[in-house]
Amino acid sequence: MRLLHTMLRVGNLEKSLAFYTEVLGMRVLRQKDYPDGRFTLAFVGYGEESETAVIELTHNWDTPAYDLGTGFGHIAIEVDNAYAACDAVRAKGGKVTREAGPMKHGTTVIAFVEDPDGYKIEFIQKQSGDDTY
């Protein structure tokens, strides 16, 4: 068994695709419209679906926005430098919601950014050894 993808419902597919590709540097791996169901699925990620987990963006054509609820936490992405990653997101018009710095009660450097629908993405700065979290 392996993890395939995480699905997020998005209100504006174009804005979401721009964020995940232009701001976070992912690629659109595949995209398909389902006219009879009035929805589109777009899969984005850093590698091929056969090799790594990806994100499925589901756009229901008649739903412009969603309530995020309290159950979903965040998506985590490993970055070489969380400070630089935040600067890059900000430079591309993205929203940084927690600046890079050590996590509370720990030493791992983390940051949080937000996609156009309000989903949180955590940057975890790459570390050497077993000192993550």
Of the candidates 130, 91, 89, the residue with the CA atom closest to the CA atom of residue 122: 89
122 is catalytic: yes
Burial readout 85-115 (b: 16 or more C-beta within 10 A, e: otherwise):
bbebbeeeebebebebeeeeeeeebbbbbbb
Catalytic residue, chosen from 49, 99, 114, 122, is: 122
Residues serving a catalytic function are: 122
